[in-house]
Structure 1
């Protein structure tokens, strides 16, 4: 309201001497003065609007760059796995078994690389549309300790066995991660970063969209993130 009153006062201060000049001048002067007033008035109001739109767009892009970071959530997991393998010969009459008890300790990370976020800014509609959010990257770094190793001369442990053991342990750890809170913690950190954009757009009177949904609260992001 204060801004409007100030603007009206400025216009009145400009228009009043113009009107007075109209009565003291001829028709040509009248036309010139009116044209000048309209020109400068147009320049004043349109320039302010363009500056404001540019400022808002720059501010949004700056915040997106601030959000664009690598978010890493870490967890530690341990698991005990038993590995067995049996080789049979002579129509299964003779067999040679090998087995081992493995203790696996794993460092697990779930990462969102928000530097890969893609977006569009529509200045006219005051809308920012997030077109792509990267999928989480799961990494498992595991250390294996072998106990109670039993093997036969005819069925010894080899490189293929260790590859199978590594794969089996990774599958077990992955399942354990899915059942833990690590994934939800990583997702919460993602939402925390994306919510910064929501706060900014709401404050500026803009609209934030993602995956066909208008984002009005943090939980709306879940609709877009869920396949």
Structure 2
């Protein structure tokens, strides 16, 4: 009789433990699913177009000569060109690739899109001088436009515009870092665990 009671008690304990385990497992899975959904939502919030704008100006003197009769006669055309350009440096974070490892509680940023630089120059011509034998043509305008964009590209490289754009990008990415830290997760990029915003700046290869 005592043996039968012991067996029944053991069965009841086993059932209770199994029930408790299932409840714990269910709670654990629910928490993991909640955390994953929260992380995905935060990344979606960060996934936007980050745009930094700048304005550049320059003045160019354009000259061209056409010579005839063994260079004895020449016809010159020239113009003063004033350029005002709006420039944008953008990072489309919708294109960012990442991986979420639930088991190890790690988010790995796989790829950050390179910046997209857009130059919109407004070109104005002043003091235009030309002749019927050497007028301004579409080829001249193409050369001028190409030269203007090349000069502006050099100015952009020497300016702080790209640096400012990168700082804005890091600021957006740091929102993911803050969230992962608050949830006890890790953020990884370029084979390294990122623990501070400054490490993003060091490891960001764009």
Tell me what 1:194 maps to: 173
Tell me what 1:60 maps to: 39
Q: CA deviation at 1:172?
A: 1.1
Supply the distance in 1 between the matched residues of 2:105 and 2:72 (Cα, whole angstroms): 78
The yes-or-no answer on 1:209 pairing with 2:201 is no
Supply the distance in 1 between the matched residues of 2:139 and 2:105 (Cα, whole angstroms): 59
Tell me what 2:133 maps to: 154
The Cα offsets for residues 143-202 of structure 1, whole Å up to 9 and x where unpaired, read as 111112122322110011011111111111121122111111111111110000000111
The yes-or-no answer on 1:115 pairing with 2:91 is no
Q: Which has the higher contact order (CA 8 A, sep 6+)?
A: 2
Supply the distance in 2 between the matched residues of 1:226 and 1:130 (Cα, whole angstroms): 12
Q: Which runs of 5+ in 1 are unaligned?
A: 1-22
Q: Is the 8 A contact 1:213 1:220 kept in 2?
A: no
The Cα offsets for residues 106-135 of structure 1, whole Å up to 9 and x where unpaired, read as 111111111111111000111101111111
The yes-or-no answer on 1:73 pairing with 2:34 is no
Pairing partner for 2:157 from 151, 154, 178: 178
Q: CA deviation at 1:137?
A: 0.9
Q: CA deviation at 1:24?
A: 10
Pairing partner for 1:34 from 9, 13, 24: 13
Supply the distance in 2 between the matched residues of 1:175 and 1:115 (Cα, whole angstroms): 28
Supply the distance in 1 between the matched residues of 2:200 and 2:188 (Cα, whole angstroms): 9
**TM-score, normalised via structure 1 length:** 0.84
Supply the distance in 2 between the matched residues of 1:27 and 1:214 (Cα, whole angstroms): 53
Q: Is the 8 A contact 1:129 1:210 kept in 2?
A: yes
Q: Is the 8 A contact 1:76 1:106 kept in 2?
A: yes
Tell me what 2:111 maps to: 132
Q: Is the 8 A contact 1:74 1:182 kept in 2?
A: yes
**TM-score, normalised via structure 2 length:** 0.92
Greater displacement, 146-155 / 62-71: 146-155
Q: Which runs of 5+ in 2 are unaligned?
A: none
Supply the distance in 2 between the matched residues of 1:226 and 1:207 (Cα, whole angstroms): 20
The Cα offsets for residues 23-69 of structure 1, whole Å up to 9 and x where unpaired, read as 89613312321211220121132222212211111110010010011
Supply the distance in 2 between the matched residues of 1:92 and 1:24 (Cα, whole angstroms): 123
